[in-house]
Amino acid sequence: MSVDAARAKRGGAALGCKRAFDFVSSLLGLVLLAPLFLIVGIVIKLDSPGPVFFRQTRVGRYGSMFRICKFRTMCTVQREGSPQITVAGDSRITRAGEYLRKYKLDELPQLFNVLCGEMSLVGPRPEVPKYVALYPPDSRDIVLSVRPGITDLAAIEFLDETALLAQAADPELYYVERVMPLKLELYLRYVREWSLMHDIQLIFKTLAKLAGPTKAV
């Protein structure tokens, strides 16, 4: 599937509906979750020094850069050259951060990115430039033809990614050679199969997976 074919499949009206759904849902979510945001913010500040939110440059639609917003789950002082992937049991993760990551609460501030139009509720997860540069050109163009999302097929499949990477002798190499190609296949599948109803189904699948049996951090 070419980039042009992918764009043709997503008509302007359909994309408009997707954006409207994202805007209304993210705005409603931020209003309803405001008390939870306040509680999480207080816990983070009491647990370790540093800001409540973590910002990092990610690659968005058409290759534009944006700053993703998450609750901070790691210590602010890190060694130079620290890896950009995180594994279960990483010493950089704070006590509060372990809990936030376990239940994916650290991802909630991305609703701000959705509200601003930098992300969608559902779409390929946004990567750091370092790893996007490793995508095959054809796949990269297709994946970046849509807004990145908070959840998608790959996010559901690799919900326990940090635990998986922790088992590898070289987590970053394992991610690049084994995990990333599988994620790319799921990203491309999402673009091919996209519909608003499919997005809604993926949101409910994500919630069901999070509500399932407790996994190890």
Amino acid occupying residue 88: A
Contact between 153 and 107 (Cβ < 8 Å): no
Tokens of 94: 């704070």
* Per-residue confidence band for 212, with pLDDT thresholds at 50, 70 and 90: confident
Find the helix or strand (DSSP H, E) in which 111 lies: helix 110-115
Mean pLDDT of 165-184: 94
Residue 8 pLDDT exceeds 80: no
68 vs 129: CA distance, rounded Å: 13
* Per-residue confidence band for 4, with pLDDT thresholds at 50, 70 and 90: low
* Per-residue confidence band for 91, with pLDDT thresholds at 50, 70 and 90: confident
Residue 77 pLDDT exceeds 90: no
88 vs 67: CA distance, rounded Å: 24
* pLDDT tens sequence across 31-76: 999 999 999 999 999 999 999 999 999 999 999 999 999 999 999 7
Beta bridge partners of 49: none
* pLDDT tens sequence across 139-168: 999 999 999 999 999 999 999 898 899 899
- The domain spans of the chain are 3-210
- The pLDDT assigned to 216 comes to 41
Tokens of 67: 């700053």
DSSP assignment, residue 74? B
- The pLDDT assigned to 5 comes to 55
* Per-residue confidence band for 205, with pLDDT thresholds at 50, 70 and 90: very high
* More confident call, 87 vs 92: 92
Beta bridge partners of 68: 56
Tokens of 102: 């376990």
What phi-psi label fits residue 50: left (phi over 0), alpha (psi between -120 and 50 degrees) or beta?
left
Residue 133, CA distances (Å) to 8, 57, 144, 180 in order? 25, 14, 12, 12
Pairing type for strands 149-151 and 53-59 reads: unpaired
Mean pLDDT of 180-208: 95
- The pLDDT assigned to 76 comes to 79
* pLDDT tens sequence across 92-146: 899 999 999 989 999 999 999 999 999 999 999 999 999 999 999 999 999 999 9
Residue 179, CA distances (Å) to 124, 126, 131 in order? 14, 15, 12
